[in-house]
Amino acid sequence: KEVQTESNAMVKRINEAFGQPGYKPVILIDKPLQFYERMAYYVVAECCLVTAVRDGMNLIPYEYVIARQGNEKLE
């Protein structure tokens, strides 16, 4: 709960400082997503930040890289 509150506050501060009407630089998604939804976000994302310290075999970075390959417009 404390981490979620802190994350929401940080996103709010960043968006207030760097956002514009109709544009938010940080979008926090705190719910599970289907695979096809994650892929859609990976394709349009400018970066992917994974901060897990003890997560074992985290496939999110791999999925992000694979989603970004093979599209000249993204490279």
Model pLDDT for residues 7-20, shown as the tens digit of each residue: 999 999 999 999 99
* pTM of the full structure: 0.66
Q: Which residue has the higher pLDDT, 36 or 56?
A: 36
Q: How far apart are CA 20 and CA 14, in angstroms?
A: 11
Q: Which distant-in-sequence residues (6+ apart) come within 8 Å of 31 by Cβ?
A: none
- Average pLDDT on 26-55 reads 87
Q: Percentage of the chain surpassing pLDDT 90?
A: 43
Q: Which distant-in-sequence residues (6+ apart) come within 8 Å of 30 by Cβ?
A: 4, 7
